[in-house]
Structure formats: structure tokens, C-alpha cells
Amino acid sequence: MTSVRRLTVLICALCSAFAVAAATPDDEQNAEMTKALHRNLLRSFALDKDLKIDPELRTAAADISAAHVARIDQLFPAWLAEERQLQTKARAGKAPPANELFFAVWARLLNELALWQIEPGDADYERATLAVLQSSPRVCDVAGEGLYGDFATRIARIQAMPAAQRAAALATERSLLSRWGQAREVAAWPDPLPQDAGAQWRKRVPAAGERPMPALSPALASAMLADKKSFDDLHPQLKCALQQWWLQVSLRQGATPAAALNAFRYGTLINAIDRFAGFYDQSPADGKPAPAGVPVYPSAAARFMATGVTTMRARLDAAGKPVQATVAARKITVPGIRSVRPVAFENIFDAAAVKYALDGFRYDRPRGAEPFAFQLAWTLPDEPAVNQTKKGSQ
């Protein structure tokens, strides 16, 4: 069964369960939701039987996984109670719909997964991780479901470390997992993203006497140069390999280890739009296109009731037509996520925003090499879908 079909079955089952639970007391409804959240959490901490790791490491990793899942299972009832109370208060005492309550807590879970993927470890862990990414191409070859390989990819990197370093790395993993549910800061998104920086770098004219940079692997070169595949069309393992290649290039260009690792982590982050690609973002059920001049509101964003502002940076040709557009900043709000950035959802409007910026729009702005910035304000589809606010050149 494909990942999309599994997700379809899961969500249909959830909706059916909630339809029944809607007429039952809160504790019964919470029990149904807790079971669904547990199943989702468990998928991201599974280790495929074909994952090539030593038996001792597999046992230690399974112990860490089981302990963490058990701890978060104990938090789910409190998260549901907190969200129910806040949503009831916002509705002037009226109980929230079961689906909205569940998706808010599900968003919180997805965001904890994302924060964990971005957050760095201690100095020894960071040095060991960087060394592995620079020397081992096998770290991207992870068996199992790519969209739920959160834990498996980390264990695969530990497998590639010298045996003497693994115990300390596993201890750091336990420490990072212990921060789930706590307010914490993580580094900002790299600007540009590694895949965009790599694409720009490959197009440039090499300077005289420039130090040779690492070449793309044969598989990457075939996919990107011969088959002309975009980053979004690459297999997950090739996406990881491209991020690994750019990490090495950026280090040779003078990036700090911390910046290079942060870029790699954001580049390989499994975010909400990745997990639900092919399920939520399908053609509208009514077949009606978006109104002229208005970008399509991503349906995954609508399902999780995400709103916010995307700051775009565009470069124009002499005719005022955009020839390049990138996301410069994001300010996103998602129900259920508080006191931390909604990292899992921060790029949920990126693809729609870039498409809008490049898709035949004409800008009443100075032409030339200097890009200018404008903002897209995203509101839910039953409200004005998007408002464009232009900003001065920068």
C-alpha cells in the first residue's frame, strides 16, 4: 500500500471515529484521538527491518524510541485538554468541532517532530554529525517510509560514526527528545535554501584559479543534469544527497560548521507539506479554479487552518517580468502551536507564493539587478484569500 493510500485510509478512519465520538463524553473522544495520535507518532519512530545497523545499535535505538513514545503518549491527554479549553473559550463557551480539536493537537505533534529535526546537539555530537555527513554517502540510504524516517535517519548517521562515539551520540538523542513539549528557540531558515543556493552556484561562471568543488554524484548528475529533474521531483534519497553535496560546497566556500549543519537540517526537514503531498493538495472538489490573480490556497494549509504572511523577493527583467522569486521570510500561525515557531508549517505557502510571483505577474517597480520585496498575506479560504502588500525596494 502506498504512503498516500495509507494516509487516505488513516484520515478517513479518523473522520469516521470522530463522527461517532462527537456525540460521546469528552473522555471517550479524547481516548479515540489519543489512539490516533499514538499511531502517527509511532510511524516516525519505527526502524525498518532492512535498515542496515548493528544489532546493538538497533536494540539501544528501539529502547530510546519506546521510552519516548510512552512519554509522549502520557502528554497527549493534557494537550487535548489544553486545546479543548482554549478553543471553547475562543468560541464563547461552545465546544469545538472534534476535527478542529484533533488537527490542532496533530499540528502540535508534527511541529515537535520538526523542532527536533532542526535543534542541534552538544559540541561533540555536532562535530561527529558533520564528520559523518562529509565522509559517508550511505547516511542518505535509509530503508523504510521516507516521509516517516525522522528517527531512522538519525540512527543511520549514528551507525556511520566510529563505534566509540555511538554511546555519547545516543545520550544526546535522549537529551534532545526530552525537550519535546517545552518552549525553545531554534535557528532561522537558511536564506537561500540549500537547493536554491546549489542551483544558483551551478549556473555561475567559475572564477579564475577557483578551488575545485565536489562534483555531483553520478546518480544526482543523471537526475538533475541529464533528466532535468527539479529538486521537488527527486527521490528522497537523492534530495538528501544533494543537501549533503551542498554542505561540502558551502564549507569550502567559508560557511561555519553550525551554518552548514543548520542548512542541511532545514534542507532535509520532513515538514507538513511533505507529509501530505499528494493527499490534501489535489484539485478542488468542485472543479473551480482560483479567482483570476489569486494564488491557490494550499489545501493542507486550509485543513490545519494555517494563516500568515510570506515575504517574497523578486528580480525583474527589462520588461518588468519576474525572472527569479524566492521566499525571504515567513510569519505563520497554526492553531495548536504556541510558544514555539510552527517550523513544520512555516514553508506551507512557499510553493504557491513562488508560483504566484513568477506566473505572469507584472510589477510596477524599477527594473534591474536589485530585487525588491513584497508580502502575501494568507487568510483562510472563506475570507479574502490573499492580499498583496508591496514593500519598497531592498
Confirm if 324 and 314 have CB atoms less than 8 A apart.
yes
Number of Cβ within 10 Å of residue 66's Cβ equals 12
Sign of the torsion formed by the C-alpha atoms of 40, 43, 44 and 45: positive
- The C-alpha atoms of residue 80 and residue 178 are separated, in whole angstroms, by 20
The residue that leads in pLDDT, 315 or 239, is: 239
Looking at the predicted structure, is the pLDDT value of residue 390 above 60? no
Is pLDDT above 90 for 311? yes
Residue 195 shares a structural domain with residue 166:
no
When pLDDT is cut at 50, 70 and 90, the band that residue 394 belongs to is: very low
Domain end call among 253, 270, 287: 270
Here the cell at position 200 is: 544558483
Q: Domain check: are 191 and 151 in the same one? A: no
Q: Is-contact 86 17, C-beta < 8 A?
A: no
Whether 113 and 240 map to the same domain: the answer is: no
Give the residue numbers spanning the domain of 141.
27-179
Contact between 237 and 216 under an 8 Å Cβ cutoff? The reply is no
> Residue 279's pLDDT band (boundaries 50, 70, 90)?
low
The verdict on residue 317 lying in a domain is yes
pLDDT at 287: 45
Helix (H) or strand (E) holding 313: strand 307-316
Question: Does residue 113 form part of some domain?
Answer: yes
Q: Is the pLDDT of residue 172 over 80?
A: yes
d(CA 358, CA 108): 32
In this prediction, residues 229-244 reach a mean pLDDT of 89
Q: Are residues 225 and 119 in the same domain?
A: no
- Inside any domain, residue 292: no
Coil, helix or strand for 312? strand
Whether residue 313 lies inside any domain: the answer is yes
Same domain for 256 and 304, yes or no, is no
Average pLDDT over the chain, rounded to whole? Answer: 85
For the chain, what is the largest distance between any 2 Cα atoms, rounded to a whole number of angstroms?
73
**Has residue 14 been placed in a domain?**
no
55 and 135 belong to one structural domain: yes
Tell the residue number behind the cell numbers 498516500, with chain if given.
4
Domain shared by 258 and 236, yes or no: yes
Confidence of residue 329 (pLDDT cuts 50, 70, 90): very high
Per-residue confidence band for 130, with pLDDT thresholds at 50, 70 and 90: very high
Is the same domain home to 32 and 165? yes
Q: Give the pLDDT band of residue 76 (cuts 50, 70, 90).
A: very high
pLDDT of res. 319: 74
383 pLDDT higher than 80: no
Cα 349 to Cα 354: distance, rounded to the nearest angstrom: 9
Q: How many domains does the chain have?
A: 3
Residue 111: Cβ within 10 Å count: 22
Indicate if 173 and 233 belong to the same structural domain: no
Q: Do 37 and 142 belong together in one domain?
A: yes
Both 156 and 42 in a single domain?
Answer: yes
Q: Is residue 353 within 8 Å of residue 312, measured between CB atoms?
A: yes
- Report if residue 73 sits inside a domain: yes
Q: Is residue 12 part of a domain?
A: no
Rg of the chain over CA atoms, in angstroms? 22
Whether residue 229 is contained in a domain is answered as yes
Q: Determine the average pLDDT of the residues in 53-71.
A: 98
The reply to whether 72 and 171 lie within a common domain is yes
Check whether 25 has a pLDDT greater than 90.
Answer: no
What is the percent of the chain with per-residue pLDDT over 70, rounded to a whole number?
A: 81
Q: What is the DSSP letter of 223?
A: I
Instruction: Decide if 115 contacts 343 (C-beta within 8 A).
Output: yes
Q: What is the pTM of this model?
A: 0.87
